[in-house]
Structure 1
Amino acid sequence: MRYPPQETADKHARILEQASILFRERGFSGVSVSEIMKATGLTHGAFYNHFKSKEDLISKSIEDASTKALHSMREDASSGQSMAQFVDEYLSEQHRDERGNGCIMAALASEIAREPAAQRAFTGHVEAMVEGFAEPLAKAKTKNARRHAIHALSSIVGAIVLARAVDDPELSEEILREARASLD
């Protein structure tokens, strides 16, 4: 039975969204295709109508999450959000605690290093983030804008990774606070 194209596209989008959330929460090996399909309300068999393999899903979910994150970042910038405001939101306790809806870099970078199929999409995301950080610096005629952008991006991602990994709540909050302060 064939489904209308819009229904198929909606199902595809739901699979990508749920996969992205589950991958960020539990990692690529921590979630099965069956669990992803169950989260979307679809059967495991329907998966192969949308993706060739789990690796294909991983790659496409990274692309989808990247597209959404970059779109949101551009919208925030065009509505007047400063880079300092972006950094403050990124280095918040809320972002630290909401892995499934958080940054793909902080949640998945170490796993993507071992997933060649996802590296191209991830590399594109990192490059776009660097460009997004560098653009306002370049407009302000900041010397070495790209270097500063790479440093800022590395700092915020690293701070979130560390803040999530430690088991001491006070240290976690201190990491976020000090990273915010150093980038202000």
Structure 2
Amino acid sequence: MSYSKAHKSQSKERILASATELFCRYGFEKVSIGKIMKLARMTHGAFYAHFESKEALFNASILETFKRSRVARLAKGPFAVRHLTSLITDYLNLLAVKEQSTPGPETLLFNEIGSERIEIRKLYEQAYQHMKSVLEKRITALARLNKLPFAADQNTISEKSRAIIASMIGAVSIARSITDEQEQQQILLAGQNQILAILGVETADADWVIGS
């Protein structure tokens, strides 16, 4: 039985959407092809009609979500400190991280820390460089508009962007690894305060809403 191009395209999208949700929630290693196809409500054998391997699907999932990620929202948003801090706060919200089903490639920075797979490490670096580049552009623009209390020096901007990403990823990764909810909140708040200090922004000028 042959299927139309439209049917094949829809089937591929179902697999991609299911894989993206599972990779976001559990990471590459804990997601099997069987789990993906079960969520997509398709047979295991149908997988190979669309993707040659789980690695190929993971790559497609990450590339597909670049354009609709929160980093993309940051790139397109207004030049305002509140916009920058509110979007960064998304990453410090454990509930949002757990429940999002259409993540951007920056999810790699949470789920795939320390992966030994070459393919995953390449994607990890790509996600990191993409996030860093967007942050640098936004922080540079805000500094030039005198909305941040430091000069738009490239070395300074790059260092601050690295520190912000390290604070975000570190805080979320640690908080997700412990069960004490009160301590989770304290870790996330510590990450929040560290990022505010890096930007030289007062709490009243930010827009932080930390969830648990």
The answer to whether residue 194 in structure 2 is matched with residue 182 in structure 1 is: yes
| Length-normalised TM-score, structure 1 | 0.85
* CA–CA separation in structure 2 for the residues paired with 1:119 and 1:2: 38
User: Which of the pair is proportionally richer in helix?
Assistant: 1
Match of residue 133, structure 1, among 126, 132, 135: 135
CA root-mean-square deviation = 2.4
Q: Which moved more, 1:64-73 or 1:146-155?
A: 64-73
| Residue 155 of structure 1: aligned partner | 167
Unaligned runs of 5+ in 1: none
Distance 1:35 1:96 in 2: 20
For residue 5 of structure 1, what is the aligned residue in structure 2? 5
CA change 1:150–1:10 in 2 (3 A) is: farther
Alignment correspondent of 2:179: 167
The whole-number CA distance in structure 2 between the counterparts of 1:121 and 1:67 is: 15
- Which structure: larger Rg? 2
What TM-score results when the alignment is normalised by the length of structure 2?
A: 0.75
In 1, distance between residues paired with 2:8 and 2:79?
33
* Identical columns (%): 23
Name whichever of 25-34 and 145-154 sits farther off: 25-34
After superposition, residues 24-63 of structure 1 pair within 5 angstroms as 24-63=24-63
Query: Once structures 1 and 2 are overlaid, which stretch shifts more, 157-166 or 52-61?
Result: 52-61
Q: Is the 8 A contact 2:24 2:111 kept in 1?
A: yes
Distance 1:73 1:5, change over 3 A: farther
Secondary structure at 2:113's aligned position in 1?
helix
Q: Does 1:146 align with 2:158?
A: yes
Provide the residue aligned with 2:199 in structure 1: none
